[in-house]
Structure 1
Amino acid sequence: MIQSRRRVLEAGGTLLTTGLAGCSVESRSSGAAGRRGADATVTVGAKNFVENRILGHIAAVALSELTDTHVLPDVPSSYERRNWTVLQSGPLDVYWEYTGTIYTSFAPTHETLPADPQALHDAVVREAEEFGVVVFPRAPFDNSFVLVADRAWSEATGVRSLSDLAAHVSAGNTGFGVAVGNDFRDRPDGWPGLTTHYGFDAAKLDALEANVQTVPIGITYELVARDDASVAMGFRTDPQLGRDSLVVLRDDRDFFPTYNPVPVADAATVTRDSPVGEVLARLGGRVGDEETIRRLNGRVADGTPPAQVAREFLEAQRVI
């Protein structure tokens, strides 16, 4: 399971189950949400990292306040890839995914991506429909992967970009630590694709692999702070990027795609013109920019519950 992107705040993930007031959460009647009878339910899911949990709560709170649904207690979530599969087969009805992830990791996958974020979103919308998934309008911020380096190490080695990193490794410098998250380790838009795209020398990369640690995502930064790694993966919306001790390595050959978050829903349960669909269609544009989500992520990292952060954000934005 993908672990917390920032800190391992909880052992489990979140599934926020919502249903019409007074209804059983175990029933899944046919028909779109908002058109069904009194036994209908909508299950809002969240991946197991802070930002996505905030987004999940934003959706759940908005649906609870703006439709006839109410939020029930959290239940465990599942792996990211499993979320997409379960969305199509149940019991998951809604969660937030990312455009770059959908385009590169879920069938049909692609090796090249549209450079324009809206074109990427439009392509994802069209292709997802073939798999019974409704993709709603995107949020404006980009939560793409980044590689960060310890600033002192970067200055000592001259590694300031991913091309610099590839050249450094290919020159035989393989004795430093790299910390990556569980999913990033094997994703085509993660470590394997990055090292291929930037032309790491194969033999030197094999030598480096002994020092590549796969850890829960939030722990990558802590390994750098403890000098157990010099390079680590992160995300553009991580509050840790503000640390003076870190430098973001430039993706100077544009490997990482755009990762705009989007609400996605099971088309058999939620249609665009249903009350639930109409609320989801309004949420993406209200989430805010990278500075906004980084601030929200930071509040959770500092101990504020995601549900509270989500509700206060929606109130401040006058969504609810």
Structure 2
Amino acid sequence: MRKLPIAVSVAAVALTAGCFSSSGADAKAGSLAKGNSLDGVTLTVGSKEFTEQLVLCQVTALALRSAGATVNEKCGLQGSNTTRAALTSGSIDMYWEYTGTAWINFLKETEPIGDPAKQYKEVAEQDLAKNKVKWLDAAPANNTYALAVKTTTMQQLGVKSLSDYAKLAKSDASKASTCVASEFAGRSDGWPGLQKAYGFTLPKASVATLAEGAIYDAIGKGKPCNFGEVATTDGRIKALGLTPVPDDKSFFPVYNPALTVRASVYEKNPAIAKIANPIAAALTDSVLQDLNGEVDIKGKQASEVAETWLQSKGFIGK
């Protein structure tokens, strides 16, 4: 999802990526390794720099090692464009990308597709044909934007959907007070587009612009806002007792994560799909919120969180 800096040169990608290389921990065989040997195969897994991506990078590296692969890690690359360039240049072999990001930013489409299955199908087909990037199965999780509110406040205000929120904004702007980050405030798929899609305009006095990380605490406290912009798989949603308001008009683009692999790498090692797809199927919004929260709220390392989760599912051995 989101935050896409200007494209960088391949040389810069290779230099930056190298700073994050590591051999990582070994993993014992579990259910993912059954009939899916990667013995003798060396692979490089990358990721972007935010928490969810760091966890997914570790999940993937451990899963591949459990099937016998030698895995180099380049987790924590700066931004979507950098990470994508690392993939297409061959600096990394795979990383988790989001359908909405690829559709709008890499495939240069201007209108997102509201149906997740159709969005995935179009992204997967076009990216393979145009860029030789293979998309494995997408997770049901959707790391998109949302407006969230403290669950108890949501019940008190009787808001069950963004259409209800729009009515509240018109009838009592102070109760509809909303915190947004500067990027969201200016994006067509952010605050301006949301107001247009739902037919309301919240007075400036009821809109506060905060740093993105500060918004979660602000919503939890109800100061300076009752509602606020969030990412739907962020661990702080569950930890702070927040609820994303249902987007009943499907305004926000779909951002389902999926492991993307260079086609040449996948063709030589099709077992990668049999290892990654069960992982994708298990990644719901709630699961990613929990995994992200283990890092952001409890301060655990992404590698520890990934290993514990994989073992709990029986995906790798203990």
Instruction: Report if TM-score (shorter chain) is over 0.5.
Output: yes
For residue 45 of structure 2, what is the amino acid of its counterpart? V
Distance 2:248 2:111 in 1: 18
Distance 1:316 1:237 in 2: 20
User: Aligned pair in 2 of structure 1 residues 306, 245: CA closer, same or farther (>3 Å)?
Assistant: closer
Distance 2:178 2:273 in 1: 38
The answer on whether the counterparts of 1:136 and 1:263 sit within 8 Å (CA) in structure 2 is yes
Which secondary structure does the structure 2 equivalent of 1:273 belong to? helix
For residue 44 of structure 1, what is the amino acid of its counterpart? V
Distance 1:15 1:149 in 2: 39
User: Aligned pair in 2 of structure 1 residues 101, 191: CA closer, same or farther (>3 Å)?
Assistant: farther
TM-score, with length taken from structure 1: 0.72
Match of 1:315 in 2: 311
Match of 1:50 in 2: 51
Distance 1:167 1:105 in 2: 33
Match of 2:200 in 1: 200
What are the equivalent positions in structure 2 for 1:1-320 lying under 5 Å apart? 17=21, 42-71=43-72, 76-89=76-89, 91-115=91-115, 117-129=116-128, 130-150=130-150, 154=154, 159-170=159-170, 173=173, 178-181=178-181, 184-201=184-201, 204=202, 207=204, 211-216=207-212, 218-226=213-221, 227-242=223-238, 246-267=242-263, 270-275=264-269, 278-287=271-280, 288=282, 289-300=284-295, 301-320=297-316
Distance 2:75 2:108 in 1: 30
Which secondary structure does the structure 2 equivalent of 1:136 belong to? strand
The answer on whether the counterparts of 1:138 and 1:285 sit within 8 Å (CA) in structure 2 is no
Which secondary structure does the structure 1 equivalent of 2:267 belong to? coil
The answer on whether the counterparts of 2:266 and 2:272 sit within 8 Å (CA) in structure 1 is no
- Per-residue CA deviation, residues 14-37 of structure 1 (Å, 9 max, x unaligned), is 985468xxxxxxxxxxxxxx8xxx
Cα deviation for residue 96 of structure 1 reads 0.8
Which secondary structure does the structure 1 equivalent of 2:131 belong to? coil
Cα deviation for residue 245 of structure 1 reads 5.2
Q: Which moved more, 1:252-261 or 1:125-134?
A: 252-261
The answer on whether the counterparts of 1:138 and 1:260 sit within 8 Å (CA) in structure 2 is yes
Cα deviation for residue 156 of structure 1 reads 6.5
Which secondary structure does the structure 1 equivalent of 2:49 belong to? coil
Structure 1 stretches of 5 or more lacking a match? 4-12, 20-33
User: Aligned pair in 2 of structure 1 residues 132, 16: CA closer, same or farther (>3 Å)?
Assistant: farther
More helix by share: 2
For residue 165 of structure 1, what is the amino acid of its counterpart? Y
Which secondary structure does the structure 1 equivalent of 2:218 belong to? helix
Distance 1:96 1:249 in 2: 26
Cα deviation for residue 57 of structure 1 reads 0.8
Which secondary structure does the structure 1 equivalent of 2:137 belong to? coil
- Per-residue CA deviation, residues 15-68 of structure 1 (Å, 9 max, x unaligned), is 85468xxxxxxxxxxxxxx8xxx9x97442222322222111111222333243
Aligned residues: 285
Percent sequence identity is 26
Distance 2:85 2:220 in 1: 36
Distance 1:155 1:84 in 2: 42
Cα deviation for residue 307 of structure 1 reads 0.5
For residue 300 of structure 2, what is the amino acid of its counterpart? T
For residue 267 of structure 2, what is the amino acid of its counterpart? D
Distance 2:154 2:313 in 1: 40
The answer on whether the counterparts of 2:165 and 2:176 sit within 8 Å (CA) in structure 1 is no
The answer on whether the counterparts of 2:46 and 2:92 sit within 8 Å (CA) in structure 1 is yes
Which secondary structure does the structure 2 equivalent of 1:127 belong to? helix
Cα deviation for residue 253 of structure 1 reads 1.3
TM-score, with length taken from structure 2: 0.72
Structure 2 stretches of 5 or more lacking a match? 5-16, 24-37
Cα deviation for residue 78 of structure 1 reads 0.7
The answer on whether the counterparts of 2:219 and 2:227 sit within 8 Å (CA) in structure 1 is yes
The answer on whether the counterparts of 2:166 and 2:200 sit within 8 Å (CA) in structure 1 is yes
